Structure 1
């Protein structure tokens, strides 16, 4: 599907379908006998559209309410789809994303060439932001993972043209918005593909191989991969303990992006992702029902990689280190047993009481490694705890860390991109709860309450040099976000990538 701009448009360019907006204006009842009325606001329509619309007897039933649609035909054989948006003052970018996701689902198999009367959908004077939000929606909604289906997903829609009366002097700004939407959503959809891959295909070594091949086309990016021998040299005992039951080598993928105009004042952000390509729970074996969908346990690594990839393609002026800790958590005679004591890269000993609390072990060594890259801030993402769903539900990303300013900036970016993020406290008592009587730390708390924050408290023990650090627990939002029409009902969501890209852009 190709998205195009048509500026200085004097008429609609859609060859089969034209999409226009309509708003609703309500007047209050005055006097005892008068009733409130609802008027359809269509003053921005072409005269031809108004004439054809009014000629339809059923058009009198259309009130332009939010979510209400109406089709009618033009004399030349084209159709017009009217999108009710309710009161114009209530128009929001996220509602436009949802609206256009539903539009795509309604038209993608029926039309090949359509146009959108962009000016009628613009929120205030934010034409570039509106265009970007709509384009994001279309690109994200058009995603499907049908690689292993005999019957592939078929769509007819080939071209969507955004017609606007804006002068061609606005082309640079609007083209940039369209390009950013395409770049970011392409990265999100690539990450969705990775997360959706079955675990018998996306082994740890296959995962690192794909990342290495994908970054080869990016400017300013370097890649190195550390295998088992290199991790042993790095003394990453915690990471290796998770991999010890696997038939496949662990992989630490270390990516760096350096912008073309980097100076000594250029900010340096490290992104760290949990990449458990499958998690059985190890000897602390998950029940069968809980083991299904554990291919999604590498969504944190896919999330940070997607943000890294988009930032590099956009040429953002921020240096980025991206660390992906990749392995599976399997069971054999070499697998780590509960009650084992293992040393991390930073020298701290950890009593491993539950081998299903493995993601924090991988992240711990990766965070210590990231600190040695001397970044200005570290952000990690992981499907870390089921407890975050208990605390925040399946729609909100949990945020924890050691620096309020960093967390506030992430929350601001989440709000700017209409994604949900909520800060959870990490208190001293949680740190006390993960102290062991026979090692420096234990990998689970003494109590199951506050599990997400206690996991974050554990991770904080491996962040050194007073580096600002934020932890994103995406266990609730990494997959199956069916309440958002631009996300698949089942499968990888790709959420929080847009938040991270916005954060990096403003760094």
Structure 2
């Protein structure tokens, strides 16, 4: 969790009169921004001179701090680069804010003001992106450290020319988005011995207690069996931790019977691989195999914060995948909730098993659309690396809507096919379907093909976040909270449709 107390405020003061510890203003490679030009006029042309000399470059993410700037009240003026004027984007905003925030964290400053919105286009996206980026830069998870870093409180001000209804709405949206992302990151980073399927269920239940429009129901092991969810039972049977099936319903539409959007999140709180045991190196990161569930819960919190006029259902199968004498074995055949039988060729392909029962359960809602989110395959990392999330869909209109939200929020996705030609790789001589394809080629596609067999009654999309749900590198290791931003934007747009 965030150990550095951070708060946010809106302001509309004239930039020349801003009384703040750190004032952050942007510039471009070719010229000063309008705000920077206003400051330059009372700083005797110093900023333009620095830009002309090349000391201020304006390159994307560059930073140039000026201590006690002439004729300004701010203790520091920090110039951040947006790159070339005609190429500036929401990514430019994010990079500039990240650079400035990381610099400000190292100072004793308690009040930081960003005045970078004069040429940022739609504030609808720029203001939430500023809040989101500050949140990422100030986030630290040290719940399990005996000695916690002591940090001073910092207030981040977002300065605009006029505080309009649009600005207020964007600011409120940004705060709700931050809460959802923080929850997703906290859950992802929590060790598996402190976040069992039961613990994950408690998180959902606590959300329902906090928000009036959220309703939670938990199916325990016995109820899961009564539902005929044989695939979930099979995955969980090797662990001493019992499975749970989490149902979290948000009812915000005026018509309570209106078709909901269903979000399905993979909740494997630890994935050893089962009998098909994973290599030991990096296995600690398999606590992140519930990041799909974390993302869905974070999105539901943001939706409830905003009180959106739409119905949304979250379905989360929560299990551990462990090796033991009772674990499923390669070659076993199990019966899913749909009635389809599945040959288990690899017990480490467990995510698709628990998801297939959840996707079948979703049918009863007669949903407007279903989106499942899962750290499903290592193959998606081979295909796309760690930049975009993999997108698969049986409905192109839904896929296009998700792509639109990904572009608007800079939470990138890339669509891959689920053509019929891939389906034959899942053929089994002993069951209706095998849980992995024949060979490693196209592994993320055949996994999506498997899920598609259980989504024939509604519009469905699958987000494979195995490459984007967490970072593995050094000091930046940890959950990213992706794709809460994308999902929230999509839900908001659907609430207005």
- TM-score under structure 2 length normalisation: 0.91
1:97 corresponds to 2:84: no
Indicate if the aligned counterparts of 2:425 and 2:438 stay in contact, CA closer than 8 A: yes
Equivalent residue, structure 1, for 2:75: 78
- The partner residue of 1:201 within 184, 190, 194 is 194
1:49 corresponds to 2:43: yes
1:108 corresponds to 2:105: yes
Change (3 A) 1:356 1:54: closer
- SS at 2:266 equivalent: strand
Equivalent residue, structure 1, for 2:3: none
1:206 to partner: Cα distance: 1.2
For residues 354-409 of structure 1, the C-alpha deviation after alignment (integer angstroms, 9 at most, x for no partner) is: 11111111001111001122111111011111111111112221111211111111
Indicate if the aligned counterparts of 2:269 and 2:318 stay in contact, CA closer than 8 A: yes
Equivalent residue, structure 1, for 2:23: 18
Change (3 A) 1:285 1:92: same
Query: Is the deviation greater in 181-190 or in 304-313?
Result: 304-313
Q: How many residues align?
A: 486
- SS at 1:328 equivalent: strand
Distance 1:454 1:439 in 2: 17
Distance 1:50 1:90 in 2: 29
Indicate if the aligned counterparts of 2:389 and 2:467 stay in contact, CA closer than 8 A: yes
Equivalent residue, structure 2, for 1:139: 135
1:83 to partner: Cα distance: 1.8
Distance 1:10 1:18 in 2: 9
1:365 corresponds to 2:360: no
| Structural RMSD (CA) | 2.6
Change (3 A) 1:57 1:196: closer
Change (3 A) 1:86 1:358: closer
Distance 2:48 2:447 in 1: 62
Distance 2:302 2:74 in 1: 41
Equivalent residue, structure 2, for 1:272: 264
Indicate if the aligned counterparts of 1:481 and 1:493 stay in contact, CA closer than 8 A: no
1:40 to partner: Cα distance: 11
1:505 corresponds to 2:492: yes
Indicate if the aligned counterparts of 1:14 and 1:114 stay in contact, CA closer than 8 A: no
Distance 1:238 1:327 in 2: 11
Change (3 A) 1:421 1:117: closer
Query: Is the deviation greater in 493-502 or in 73-82?
Result: 73-82
Any unmatched runs of 5+ in structure 2? 1-5
Equivalent residue, structure 2, for 1:284: 276
1:67 corresponds to 2:67: no
Distance 2:131 2:485 in 1: 13
- The partner residue of 2:432 within 440, 447, 455 is 440
- TM-score under structure 1 length normalisation: 0.90
- The partner residue of 2:464 within 469, 473, 494 is 473
1:263 to partner: Cα distance: 5.8
- SS at 2:83 equivalent: coil
Indicate if the aligned counterparts of 2:20 and 2:113 stay in contact, CA closer than 8 A: no
1:342 corresponds to 2:334: yes
1:98 to partner: Cα distance: 1.6
Change (3 A) 1:8 1:459: same
1:174 to partner: Cα distance: 1.3
Indicate if the aligned counterparts of 1:19 and 1:114 stay in contact, CA closer than 8 A: no
Equivalent residue, structure 2, for 1:29: none
Pairwise mapping of residues 133-212 of structure 1 onto structure 2 (< 5 A)?
133-166=129-162, 168=163, 170=164, 172-212=165-205
- The partner residue of 1:317 within 305, 309, 318 is 309
1:123 corresponds to 2:119: yes
Distance 1:127 1:292 in 2: 40
Indicate if the aligned counterparts of 1:399 and 1:473 stay in contact, CA closer than 8 A: yes
Distance 1:55 1:456 in 2: 56
1:24 to partner: Cα distance: 3.2
Any unmatched runs of 5+ in structure 1? 27-37
1:58 to partner: Cα distance: 12
Equivalent residue, structure 2, for 1:238: 231
Indicate if the aligned counterparts of 1:108 and 1:155 stay in contact, CA closer than 8 A: no
Distance 1:383 1:57 in 2: 45
For residues 418-459 of structure 1, the C-alpha deviation after alignment (integer angstroms, 9 at most, x for no partner) is: 122111111222222212111111111122211111111111
